[in-house]
Amino acid sequence: MEKWKKIAISICAVLVAGYTIFCLSFFSNKNLNSNCKRIEITFSDSGVRKFVSEPEMLQFIQRAGFRIEGETISHKRCHQIEQQALLHPMIRTACCYMSPDGTMHLILSQRIPVLRVLGADNYYVDSDRKIMRTRSSTASYVPIVTGRVPQHLAQGELFDFVSWLRKDDFWSAQITQINVNTANNIELIPRVGNSIILMGNIDDYEIKLSKLKTLYNDGFSKFGWKEYSYIDLRFKGQVVCR
């Protein structure tokens, strides 16, 4: 009985595999040169951010000379449309394909801001460490970095620091602004209180903020911190409040 059961399962598996191969081959060949009846543009991350609209993306592609509706859309043409979509400053990934009903699907994802630099220049740094220019329609709540911020710093050590802050529930809620002063030292502006946290250089930030977190929990919770203007983490093994 067990032997026949195994044979039946094997036959079913072969039939399913064969049907799958047939469908892929049939639809692939059918849509290799399909006439486009309609266009459907969707954003996989539209529930999280909306920097660009579907009509804007369609216009962006059409302005590059792509005629779509009523045209023959091959796999090669789909690839070209993907490459054009990726030229948009807010687009991170693009996938284009034709479905059996003649619909051209263009599925997009948008770039993900990690931090925003405000100063002589104004831009975001995205999750791929690339510069992302701001637009009037772009709004994202991420840590703000002010002061003298060269791009290599924003894309390097500051990116790592902000990424670490965002993963820590306590510090992501506490720190609202990062300032790079004229001496290239880091100052942190907390959400609660009027104190400025002087971190000095960005080295060993995990150790420095670990000491400060202990002070928040064991010291400030008892006697408060409102009387202090500065909390200084620049000295090894110490937290100086003044």
pLDDT tens-place string over residues 129-157 = 999 987 766 667 889 999 989 999 999 99
Residues 163-183 have pLDDT tens digits of 999 999 989 888 989 999 888
Q: Which amino acid is at 46?
A: S
The share of the chain scoring above pLDDT 90, in percent, equals 40
- In sequence order, the β-bridge partners of residue 131 are 125
More confident position, 55 or 216:
55
Position 231 scores a pLDDT of 87
Residue that is written with structure tokens 């049907």 in the block = 19
- From residue 235, give the alpha-carbon distance in Å to each of 43, 179, 204, 207, 229: 48, 19, 12, 12, 17
